[in-house]
Amino acid sequence: MVCGGRPLYGETRIQGSKNAALPILAATVLVKGKTRLYRCPKILDIIYMLHILREIGCTVFWEDEDVLVIDAADCDGYEIAEQYAGKMRSSIILLGSVLGRNGRVQVPYPGGCIIGKRPIDMHIAALQTMNVHIETHEKTLSAQTSGLTGATLDLALPSVGTTENIILAAVTARGRTRINGAAREPEIAALCDYLNHAGARITGAGTETIEINGVRRLQQTTYEIPADRIVAGTYSLATVATRGSTILYDAPIHQMDAFIKIIQSMGARVSRIRHADRIGLVIDAEQAVHAVEYLETKEYPGFPTDLQSQLMTVLTTADGTSRILETIFEERYKIVGELQKMGAHITIQDREAVIESVPRLQGTTLQASELRGGAALVIAGLMAQQTTIVENAHFIKRGHEDIVKDLKELSASIKYL
């Protein structure tokens, strides 16, 4: 429940990145020993992934508040059960690492989700090029190999998950793998940084050409998960939405250029502050908020699709008309109906969202139906004068450790019902 209409003020700390932590957790399976992860976010998707790792033989425990230990010495399983994998489509990221460790894997076929059908054709085609035999049945996908072999792969589009699966399969494969047209997201760089810490030989992470020289085994290591650029962007937009002024400590500012340029064009003042050994992103948005004439979501380093719904929400009361084209996922305008219930003027004209300004949003009861859209509806509640209830908050808990705690630290009037 959110009582809106007041600016956000104060400071909070940004959690570890969900989309960096998930592939790194999959990668720990390749290490015949312990991995210690610092700042792994305690979110639902991570909890599901830890259950899956336990099911295939890993020992997993929290050493203290925020050090997660995964001991994969005895990880000899290969069947990923539906119970958790069905709840989290990113379990497909285990294909490459469980194949690399045990030569075979069986995962539930990941369904699409509300933002798009989310096919995995590119994952399958890439692994088949690396000497993997894949069979797909209606509910499950099973794969096996007599030994992964390096290959040169040209990706038709810079798919994040496909790039990650290839890297995980290539790390201990025989020979060299080269990915042309690789995704450049910071989460890929974090995955490769972790793997190189463990003895892998990967170059080019963060560029569109990544090369992996297979090694025989990886050593145990420790790694700190980088902060979550999408959570930092979400709270930055909540600050702009409420004309507030906040400090977001540990935000990965260097990964947020395209995003920061957009909120600056809307009138926000953005700077950084150093406090003790911490760097904070300072967002000061106490003046009017301008519209965004036209924006396309793009693969990194462009404006991230994962912040599109949150930006759309802020633009509903900006001065002027904004246009957004979502180019990554074909169904990612699901919150339009919910925002219209609050009085927003949004129309979809041949795949473009046209957002005309209204003086303010009216609080009401809303339905979240996926993670980033759910967070966007919380922002809408912060903007509305009255009370807003966002139902299905479990979607938000998939990516936020505790959005209520964080926003309360930024002076929001918000609580779980």
Chain centre to alpha carbon of residue 332:
15
- Please state whether beta strands 352-356 and 345-349 pair in parallel, antiparallel, or not at all (unpaired): antiparallel
- Please state whether beta strands 322-325 and 201-203 pair in parallel, antiparallel, or not at all (unpaired): unpaired
CB of 95 to ligand EPZ, least distance (A): 11
> Got the DSSP string for 94-146?
HHHHHHHHHSEEEEEPPP-BTTB----HHHHHHHHTTTEEEEE-SSEEEEEES
CB of 314 to ligand EPZ, least distance (A): 18
Distance (Å, whole) CA 364 – CA 232? 26
* Cβ proximity to ligand EPZ, 220 vs 236, nearer residue: 236
Cβ-based neighbours of 64, under 8 Å, separated by 6 or more? none
CB of 174 to ligand EPZ, least distance (A): 24
* Cβ proximity to ligand EPZ, 63 vs 121, nearer residue: 121
CB of 164 to ligand EPZ, least distance (A): 7
* Cβ proximity to ligand EPZ, 306 vs 406, nearer residue: 306
Which entry of 3, 58, 113, 192 is annotated as an active-site residue? 113
CB of 181 to ligand EPZ, least distance (A): 12
CB 351 within 8 A of CB 308: no
* Cβ proximity to ligand EPZ, 116 vs 343, nearer residue: 116
Whole-angstrom CA distances from 147 to 33, 38, 136 are 21, 32, 20
Residue closest to ligand EPZ when measured from CB atoms: 161
* Cβ proximity to ligand EPZ, 121 vs 293, nearer residue: 121
Helix (H) / strand (E) element for 296: namely strand 295-296
Residue 55 burial by CB count (10 A; 0-12/13-18/19+): exposed, middle or buried? middle
Phi first, then psi, for residue 23 (nearest 5°) are -65, -30
Q: Is 113 a catalytic residue?
A: yes
CB of 378 to ligand EPZ, least distance (A): 15
* Cβ proximity to ligand EPZ, 235 vs 329, nearer residue: 329
Distance (Å, whole) CA 254 – CA 161? 22
CB 143 within 8 A of CB 127: yes
Distance (Å, whole) CA 179 – CA 205? 10
Per CB under 6 A, residues contacting ligand EPZ are: 18-19, 22, 90, 116, 118-123, 157, 159-162, 183, 187, 305-306, 328-329, 371-372, 399
Mind telling me the catalytic residues? 113
